[in-house]
Amino acid sequence: MEPNNYKMIVTIVNKGKAGKVVEVSQKVGAVGGTIIPGHGAAVRLMLGINIEPEKDIVLTLIDADKAQAVLDAIVEEMELNEPHKGIVFSFSLDQVMGIRC
């Protein structure tokens, strides 16, 4: 597989949901994913208390031919068309090194 045949899928969901993102991705052909903890930069004020929502970020390196199926599955299973559920996007990679197939 050539390095330029990969895409990176980035999924940002509420804390605790990353495992399900990886599970859904694997069912459609992904091998795994990398989970990074994070928090949203938008600070909300509720009852006089600042709340910074914690997030999980899932990075999925995927063969370009499988990327759309994985994206579609994540959107459907994680209900990302609903408000405040998260976001997912992908981009093509110019170079990928260190992968052993």
Across all residues in the chain, what is the average pLDDT?
87
Q: For domain 3-92, say whether CATH 3.40.50.720 is its number.
A: no
Between 23 and 2, the higher pLDDT residue: 23
Distance CA 70, CA 40 (A): 24
Where in the chain are the domains?
3-92
pLDDT the model gives residue 3: 46
Q: Considering the chain, what percentage of its residues have pLDDT values greater than 90? A: 68
Instruction: Average the pLDDT over 50-76 and give the result.
Output: 91
Query: Do the beta carbons of residue 10 and residue 59 sit within 8 Å?
Result: yes
- pLDDT at residue 36, rounded to an integer: 97
Q: The whole model's pTM is what?
A: 0.85
pLDDT above 70 coverage of the chain, percent: 83
β-partners of residue 45 are: 50
- What DSSP assignment string belongs to the chain? --GGGEEEEEEEEETT-HHHHHHHHHHTT----EEEEEE-S--EEETTEEE--EEEEEEEEEEHHHHHHHHHHHHHHTTTTSTTSEEEEEEE-S---S---
